[in-house]
Amino acid sequence: MPELPEVETVRLGLRAVMEGARIEALELRRPDLRFPFPEGFAARLEGRRIEGLGRRAKYLLADLDDGARVIMHLGMSGSFRIESASGAATPGVFHHPRDGRSLHDHVLFHLSGGQTVVYNDPRRFGFMDLAPGPGDAASPHLALLGIEPVGNAFDGAALLERLAGRRNPLKAALLDQRLVAGLGNIYVAEALHRSGLSPMRQAGSVTAAEAARLAEAIRTVLGEAIAAGGSSLRDHRQTNGELGYFQHAFRVYDREGEPCPSPGCHGIIERSVQAGRSTFWCASCQI
């Protein structure tokens, strides 16, 4: 799944065609994704104009002209692509031979501009929901989210405050969406390596200086990843069908056994498992 940079890449691509457009028809090709679609979902969207397309953590937010907000999560394998009226096939996307449409195209937004925005999700861990209005409190999905790591308020002090007193491993704390919202397995690994901190460290043991370094590393790695169009491992694509390329800039993620890329470090990248997820790190320079 997409983590924050992949979702932001998708948002930037979709914004150009969705903002200001009217949803002429919403085509649901099955009754559910991870959860059933909300009652009357299609009817409540049809005819509405999309006034803005935002993002909170890993959620895409479409604000409608009647005040409602569509909340979309890509799960592990969700992607959006834009089809123009010509209906040209997207490179690299499997199209079902029967109707020319991929088996996993589940939701189609038919827009007034002539384009169709297609949501594809093989694993269906993604979902869509409707909130009555803007503001995190209006949705149970957003209400408990922590600080936005690319927002202005995120710095060493803000991070230190959230880690203080926590006894769980630093990696687990950073993956907790209630503390910092938007990080996932890849970017936690990358940010910890860049800041020289061990994923095994007790979260509450991080000092003010270390928190400042970590916050800066998080901000930098997310920014670089967004600029690269995200990371494409299996499923993520930009909305024009192109791959992201930040995966080539990984320093530790999926690099078990390779030499640590830190200057002057002679360590080897290790893999271990924390909370059921792979952790990649260098025991020599991450302390």
Partner DNA sequence: AGGATACCCTGACCGC
Partner DNA sequence: TGCGGTCAGGGTATCC
Active site (catalytic) residues: 2-3, 58, 277
According to the binding rule CB under 7 A, does residue 129 interact with DNA? no
Of the candidate residues 184, 201, 206, 281, the single one contacting DNA (CB under 7 A): 184
According to the binding rule CB under 7 A, does residue 58 interact with DNA? yes
According to the binding rule CB under 7 A, does residue 251 interact with DNA? no
Q: Which of these ranges, 19-27, 110-118, 129-137, 234-242, lies near DNA under the rule CB under 7 A? A: 234-242
Minimal distance, residue 230 CB to DNA, in Å: 5
According to the binding rule CB under 7 A, does residue 199 interact with DNA? no
DSSP string over the chain: ---HHHHHHHHHHHHHHHTT-BEEEEEESSSBSSSBPPTTHHHHHTT-BEEEEEEETTEEEEEETTS-EEEEE-TTT-EEEEE-TT-PPPTT----TTTSS-TTEEEEEEETTS-EEEEE-SS---EEEEESSSSGGG-TTTTT--B-TTSTT-SHHHHHHHHTT--SBHHHHHH-TTTBSS--HHHHHHHHHHHT--TTSBGGG--HHHHHHHHHHHHHHHHHHHHTT---SSS---TTSPPP-GGGG-SSTT-TTSBP-STT---BEEEEEETTEEEEEETTT--
According to the binding rule CB under 7 A, does residue 185 interact with DNA? yes
Of the candidate residues 124, 148, 200, 265, the single one contacting DNA (CB under 7 A): 124
Residues near DNA, by CB under 7 A: 1-3, 6, 34, 57-58, 73, 75-77, 103-104, 122-125, 141, 166-169, 172, 177, 184-186, 230-236, 244, 274-278
